[in-house]
Amino acid sequence: ILLLLLLPIVLIVLVRNFLSTNYLASSIYKLIFISPLFYRLFIRKRSLKDSITEGFNFKKFKDKFWIVIGVGILLSIIYFSAYFVFKGYLNLESIGNNLDQLASINATNIIFIGVYIVFINSLLEEFFWRGFIFKETNKLMTPLLTYLITGIAFSFHHVMFYYTWFSFPLFSLVTIGLVGFAVIVNFIFQQYEDLYSCWLIHGMVDIVQITIAIMIFGII
């Protein structure tokens, strides 16, 4: 479990240094997000169906749907507002160029990649971070340590994408915000025991992220 907390970060570094700079190659590290399947299949001897669906509870999702929507809207508003508050401190052209250089993300493909990020990538991340890492770490540590360690690990996985974009104070603020997001979604998962809820919240926030990227690339 502790190894898997760090492995996404290590894999990102290796991919960035040794593979070509296109989105597919730069995303190959995300194969680690399906590692829970192998753990459940070969260590816990679960069926493939149970290994895939563990953590998903549609009844609880349906019962808490509007609360989850409210949380997603609130976090999305905070994210979007923060962008406009700190926009003047950002070099948007440099960020756009960096996305293109690192992962070939640009104005021609941002919509397509955005659809993938909102619907698929958010699911993979929740399946891994909440449905496996947080759940299993919670069995090994106190609740406080579980929230803190998994929140930091989640944020550091994303830090590898933006560490060159901001000044140190803004970098710190963004990282704290990511830890806060992880803690909130961890709490939602622990309270509702449902990954659909986490997936919806994550996807809503990612819509804001892609909208900002579209604005940076000058599409709107």
Span 88-125, pLDDT tens digits: 999 999 999 988 887 889 999 999 999 999 999 999 99
**What's the rounded mean pLDDT across residues 128-157?**
93
Query: Cα-flanking dihedrals φ and ψ of residue 200, to 5°?
Result: -65, -45
**pLDDT at 19 > cutoff 70:** no
**194 phi, psi to nearest 5 deg:** -150, 125
Of 160, 159, 184, 185, nearest to 173 (Cα)? 159
Distance between CA atoms of residues 45 and 37, nearest Å: 10
| Reported pTM | 0.94
Phi, psi angle pair for 107, to nearest 5°: -65, -25
DSSP 165: T
Position 201 pLDDT exceeds 70: yes
Distance, in Å, from the CA atom of 156 to the CA atom of 210, rounded to the nearest integer, reads: 20
What does the pLDDT average to over 157-184? 91
End-to-end CA distance of the chain: 42
Distances (CA, A) of 14 to 28, 30, 125, 129: 10, 13, 19, 21
Mean pLDDT of 45-54: 96
Average pLDDT, integer, range 136-142: 92
pLDDT at 161: 79
192: pLDDT confidence band, cut at 50, 70 and 90? very high
